[in-house]
């Protein structure tokens, strides 16, 4: 016999009842994005590899080691999307959306990264994110942060902390680069292999390192504050003023630089400790140079991505498994004749009711049917046995209040009324 085939390492099956929690979160996300005026963008889960190499950056973890890349039958290099920003900008360019002024998009869906699987880190994960394009001013930075914060706040995640920083622009970033090079170069040999490789290409990324060997040198590195140009300083101050006015708590954290090459000025993360070590549930920032680097018109933009797995884990850690209220109806037909009468009634009820209608088709005792009702977390049982058949009645049992009432057998409308649902 062959052995069982299992899901690939680093992936998860999302099964009921957990999938209902995903669906509920996704619904709240769609609703939140709509209230902020964002439209959903859906892009393919695979793209040309070139898009991510150019759009994410060659010195990023993603492009250096995490991409799922393969050649298709036409010998094209294809990559499963490791993030959404580059694909969303690619789509916007392709459909000439940047010519139509400022834009607001959001997305929800799977991403793929070849990572070492561990708690909160998967090879297929899911992100919700937004992109706001066409605004160079701090209002847009504030707006996307406010949106992310609203999601976190509305779920009662008290432990989450908003970390903000600025990493400058074309004017002041080169100065910072020099300052960092001067700081790290004398210790080049002592840095981690990743950081040694990145030193000359992108020393900012060393600040982002999770490697112990880099830690001491990162702690003593100069901060951006010392070299920030006036325009960037003003932009950051205005953003902080908006955050203060909105009562959104934050800390300025000079070590936040974000893992992607395309960020300018504002960068931010929402960090939580509920998953053990500090972990980033949401990361984002401004990326004024990305659209142009993909061959589009110069377009300021700002956005974030939030990991749904980590978000749900935070909810679990904080609120535990929340008991779902009983909902729906278990239709119970005892015997062939009862079943034959119930099947069409159930069909009609499913058309009529907003709550789920469950029915089991096997011959079982009433008690076994009631057990199934419990498993389905049904609120009511609709019981049709031989006594009820003879009387032309149906028992509606409230499984929570443990009360029975009898209604005439036949009309679905009577059942709906007994369950307190109006007929539409």
- Closer to ligand ATP by Cβ: residue 198 or 339: 198
For 244-278, b where at least 16 C-beta lie within 10 A, e where not — what string?
A: eeeebebeebbebbbbbbbbbbbbbbbbbebbeee
**CB-CB contact of 379 with 329 (8 Å):** yes
Integer Cα distance of 85 and 37 in angstroms? 18
Integer Cα distance of 279 and 160 in angstroms? 10
Stretch 44-83: interaction string toward Mg ion, x if CB under 5 A: -----------------x----------------------
Which one among 25, 97, 132, 305 touches ligand ATP, defined by CB under 6 A?
A: 305
Instruction: Report the sign of the C-alpha dihedral through residues 384, 386, 392, 398, in that order.
Output: negative
Q: Which helix (H) or strand (E) holds 297?
A: none
316 binds ligand ATP (CB under 6 A): no
Q: Which does 282 bind (CB under 5 to 8 A by kind): Mg ion, ligand ATP, none?
A: ligand ATP
C-beta of 157: minimal distance to ligand ATP in Å?
13
Stretch 97-126: interaction string toward ligand ATP, x if CB under 6 A: ----------------x-x----xxx--x-
Tokens 């789509």, located at residue: 91
214 binds ligand ATP (CB under 6 A): no
Nearest to 400 by CA among 331, 327, 333: 327
CA torsion, ordered 4, 5, 6, 8, to nearest 10 deg? 160
Stretch 238-277: interaction string toward ligand ATP, x if CB under 6 A: ---------------------x------------------
Q: Which does 47 bind (CB under 5 to 8 A by kind): ligand ATP, Mg ion, none?
A: none
Stretch 387-406: interaction string toward Mg ion, x if CB under 5 A: --------------------
Token pair listed for 46: 């695979």
User: Which chain residues interact with Mg ion by CB under 5 A?
Assistant: 61
Q: Which residues of this chain interact with ligand ATP, rule CB under 6 A? A: 83, 113, 115, 120-122, 125, 127, 259, 280-283, 305, 307, 309-310
């Amino acid at each position: 016999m062959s052995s069982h085939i299992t899901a690939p390492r680093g992936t998860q099956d999302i099964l009921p009842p957990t999938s209902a929690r995903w669906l509920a979160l996704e619904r709240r996300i769609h609703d939140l994005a709509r209230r902020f005026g964002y439209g959903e963008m859906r892009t393919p889960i695979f793209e040309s590899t070139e898009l991510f190499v150019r759009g994410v950056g060659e010195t990023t973890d993603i492009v250096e080691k995490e991409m799922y890349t393969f050649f298709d039958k036409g010998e094209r290099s294809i990559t499963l999307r490791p993030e959404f920003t580059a694909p969303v900008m690619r789509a916007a360019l392709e459909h000439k959306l940047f010519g139509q002024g400022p834009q607001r998009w959001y997305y929800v869906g799977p991403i793929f990264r070849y990572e070492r699987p561990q708690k909160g880190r998967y090879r297929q994960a899911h992100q919700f994110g937004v992109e706001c394009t066409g605004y160079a001013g701090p209002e847009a930075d504030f707006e996307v942060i406010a949106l992310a914060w609203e999601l976190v706040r509305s779920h009662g995640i008290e432990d989450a902390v908003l970390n903000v920083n600025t990493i400058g622009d074309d004017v002041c970033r080169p100065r910072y680069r020099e300052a960092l090079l001067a700081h790290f170069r004398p210790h080049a040999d002592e840095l981690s292999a990743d950081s040694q490789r990145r030193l000359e290409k992108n020393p900012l990324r060393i600040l982002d390192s999770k490697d112990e060997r880099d830690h001491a040198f990162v702690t003593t590195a100069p901060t951006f504050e010392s070299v920030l140009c006036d325009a960037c300083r003003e932009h950051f101050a205005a953003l902080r003023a908006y955050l203060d006015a909105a009562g959104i708590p934050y800390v300025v954290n000079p070590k936040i630089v974000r893992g992607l090459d395309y960020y300018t000025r504002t960068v931010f993360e929402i960090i939580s400790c509920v998953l053990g070590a500090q972990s980033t549930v949401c990361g984002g920032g401004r990326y004024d140079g990305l659209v142009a680097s993909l061959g589009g018109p110069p377009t300021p933009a700002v956005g974030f991505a939030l990991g749904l797995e980590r978000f749900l884990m935070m909810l679990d850690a904080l609120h535990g498994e929340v008991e779902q209220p009983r909902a729906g109806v278990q239709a119970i037909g005892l015997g062939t004749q009862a079943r034959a009468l119930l099947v069409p009634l159930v069909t009609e009820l499913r058309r009529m009711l907003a709550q789920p209608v469950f029915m089991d088709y096997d011959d079982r005792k009433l008690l076994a049917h009631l057990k199934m009702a419990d498993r389905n977390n049904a609120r009511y049982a609709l019981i049709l046995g031989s006594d009820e058949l003879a009387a032309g009645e149906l028992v509606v049992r409230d499984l929570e209040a443990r009360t029975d009432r009898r209604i005439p057998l036949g009309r679905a409308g009577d059942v709906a009324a007994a369950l307190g649902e109006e007929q539409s």
